[in-house]
Structure 1
Amino acid sequence: MARPKPWEIDDELWALIEPLLPKVERRPDHPGRRRLDDRKVLQGILFVLHTGIQREFLPQELGFGSGMTCWRRLRDWNQAGVWQRLQEILLAKLRGADQLDFSRAAIDTSHVRALRGGPKTGPSPVDRARPGSKHHLICDGRGTPLTVSLTGGNRNDVTQLVPLLRAIPAVCGRRGRPRHRPRRLYADRGYDHDRYRRKVRTLGITPVIARRGQPHGSGLGVHRWVVERGFAGLHGFRHLRIRWEHRDDIHDAFLQLATCLILYRRVRALC
């Protein structure tokens, strides 16, 4: 039996995605060309995400439609909040199976080069001031991504600490109140600021952040390594290793979609 391609969508995943997609009715007076099947277009988007190819070079013989068709659908679905709702559904499934660890979480940032500039880019302090962007990620104690965001490459990591914590969705899946806050948050020296420690405590979270000027060997790496693995999972999608899009919402859409795929893999592993 041939191994399925990574951009092929199985029936279980499509059953989760299809109800979330906005319905587009054809006008009876001017119907125009028949709309390409959403499942095929999504596979074209996943082809770009997995291979790193630019959308204008999407192979037409694979039946995914044009790169512009994929670009427009991705834009519309992201504006409709499809990927955020899918993340909530998948996180709820993981929590229902007792696969989320809210006792602790880890936060970190990764820099990517932005070759075409655009919003949410800036001179990178780690890449000779070339234009770049940052991916900000929070993972639970098992390394499951809870939320991810995009900013300019020159933004200070600590400024995204509280917004990222507030962006964690309320996760259902079990009896009682939804969970959306970890008990402890682990971070490196880039987040060392007493003002932000106080802000984290006001959210009911205990900050465990390394301090500048202290020798290495704090022991936080025992808990923080999960977020490094989270970035390895995100950047396993080749299209996320370099920001090709001028528009920040398109790159963010790819980022959110990749998070959904990582969560779905973890749900499938439970079967």
Structure 2
Amino acid sequence: MIRGCWVARPKPWEVDDELWAVIGPLLPKVERRMRHAGRKRHPDRLVFQGILFVLHTGIAWEHLPQELGFGSGMTCWRRLAEWTEADVWPRLHEDLLAKLRNANVLDFSRAAVDGPHPRVKGGSKTGRSPVDRGRTGSKHHLITDATGIPLAATLTGGNRNDVTQLIPLLQAVPPVRGKRGRPRRRPDVVLADRGYDHDKYRRLVRDLGVKPLIARRGTKHGSGLGTQRWVVERAFAHLHWFRRLRIRWEIRDDIHEAFLTLACALICWRRLKSAR
């Protein structure tokens, strides 16, 4: 706010030049046909803002406001599917993690995992949750660095036990560049609550070169892990601030996973900007 002048804050779905400079090169180039060219392709930047509008507001594709210039909801959905097939979102997330590591913001000294689940309207990778009165749902599984930066996220049915996703989460962390030498992929330590208590998985974690610090069932609370694990719970709160992730509306699991990975990338982008 400038004295005597009101300054409008940018909308969360507006893409500035700096962010577009990161995203634009990752998008596949589509050459327009010379013969029978048809209707001109809607600009990628506007379509991407339409995708962000849906991610932030949770609005249905068919209700996307035409007056905002994003193109139709079907155009945005098709472009999202096209870019998902081209692996744009994992590459975007990996690039931003590299920038965070280069800025000395990423902390691999420990990682934290958790797996809450949103409500779901149908589709693959769903199941009846044993901890939610048997309701059908999907689970978001998340691993963060020591400060709560999302390193990877996965999607399973609500009937999958959290502990079964401990190894897939660790393996889903991409090789993070940003510094000289070999990329960093594994944290030194992984923290988890009692839902991950299983000696078999402790051994598997150690086989990956990671030290497991997992609370044991049947022991009193007060292990001290909560003072370090809260960062993953905060990260989930940031993820579910994107309304499209609170309820899974997508029948196609790859489209919901695209939203999930894109949200992780946007959280990384905010952390990168705040670190400057």
Coarse TM-score class (shorter-chain normalised): over 0.9
Distance (Å, rounded) in 2 between the aligned partners of 1:74 and 1:210 = 40
Distance (Å, rounded) in 2 between the aligned partners of 1:52 and 1:100 = 30
Q: 1:68 aligns with which of 68, 74, 77?
A: 74
2:262 match: 257
1:270 offset after TM fit, Å? Answer: 2.1
Matches within 5 A, 1:2-17: 2-17=8-23
2:108 match: 102
1:83 match: 89
1:120 paired with 2:150, answer no
Q: 2:170 aligns with which of 153, 165, 172?
A: 165
Which runs of 5 or more residues in structure 1 are unaligned?
none
TM-score of the aligned structures, taking structure 1 as reference length: 0.98
Equivalent residue of 1:211, what SS?
A: coil
Aligned length: 270
Tell me the C-alpha RMSD between the 2 structures: 0.9
Question: Which portions of structure 1, spanning 4 or more consecutive aligned residues, are displaced by more than 3 angstroms?
Answer: none
1:215 match: 220
1:208 offset after TM fit, Å? Answer: 0.3
2:29 match: 23
Aligned residue identity for 1:114: V
Q: 1:49 aligns with which of 36, 55, 58?
A: 55
1:79 offset after TM fit, Å? Answer: 1.3
Describe the superposition over 1:137-186 as per-residue Cα deviations: whole angstroms up to 9, x where unpaired.
00000111100011111111111111110110111111221110000000
Aligned residue identity for 1:58: L
Describe the superposition over 1:240-262 as per-residue Cα deviations: whole angstroms up to 9, x where unpaired.
11001111111111111111110
Aligned residue identity for 1:79: E
Describe the superposition over 1:10-42 as per-residue Cα deviations: whole angstroms up to 9, x where unpaired.
100000001000011122122110000000001
Q: Is the 8 A contact 2:194 2:215 kept in 1?
A: yes
1:176 match: 181
1:135 match: 140
Q: Percent identity?
A: 70
Describe the superposition over 1:195-226 as per-residue Cα deviations: whole angstroms up to 9, x where unpaired.
11000000000000011111111111011001
Equivalent residue of 1:185, what SS?
A: strand
Equivalent residue of 1:146, what SS?
A: strand
TM-score of the aligned structures, taking structure 2 as reference length: 0.96
